[in-house]
Amino acid sequence: MKKISTCILFVIVNTTLFAQTNKQINSALESGNVEMLSSFFDSHIDLTVLSNEGIYSKAQAQVILKKFFAENSSGTFELQHEGGNSQAKFYIGTYKTASKTFRIYYLTKQTNSKIHIQKLRIEHD
């Protein structure tokens, strides 16, 4: 019985951690807040922004994302779909500006007690 209680507590804590982190990431995407968004990056991230694709350091990814949000500011982000398990979750949403629409996909993974964005893709919708 003690093991079941511990497992249930672990799932609840993980679910809460992912949900809180997801809200912060979605808020950062909508506001174009690269500093907040990059606080969830590990030392390297698999990043695709339109035709720019690769594995970048946190600093390189910040530069690429700052350029994207400078060119595509004042957008709204709407989460469309999410899935995964207790260790990794993916999210798909739509980022809309006045004249363009983008599809954003990101994958988060829990390492120790912190959630990191492992992969981020921004593509034309």
pLDDT in the model for residue 3: 57
Q: What is the secondary structure of the chain as a DSSP string? A: -HHHHHHHHHHHHHHHHHHHHHHHHHHHHHHT-HHHHHTTEEEEEEEEETTEEEEEEHHHHHHHHHHHHHHS-S-EEEEEEEEE-SSEEEEEEEEE-SS-EEEEEEEEEEETTEEEEEEEEEEE-
Kindly indicate the confidence band of residue 18, based on its pLDDT and cuts at 50, 70 and 90. low
Domain with 59 in it: 2-124
pLDDT in the model for residue 42: 87
CATH code of the domain covering residue 52: 3.10.450.50
Percent of the chain with pLDDT strictly greater than 90: 70
pTM > 0.85 = no
How far apart (Å, rounded) are the C-alpha atoms in residues 97 and 29? 12
Kindly indicate the confidence band of residue 13, based on its pLDDT and cuts at 50, 70 and 90. very low
- Overall domain count for the chain: 1
The phi and psi torsions of 17 (rounded to 5 degrees) equal: -60, -45
Residue 1 predicted with pLDDT over 80: no
Arithmetic mean of pLDDT over the chain: 87
How far apart (Å, rounded) are the C-alpha atoms in residues 117 and 104? 13
Per-residue pLDDT tens digits for 43-82 = 999 999 999 999 999 999 999 999 999 999 888 999 999 9
Higher pLDDT, 12 or 52: 52
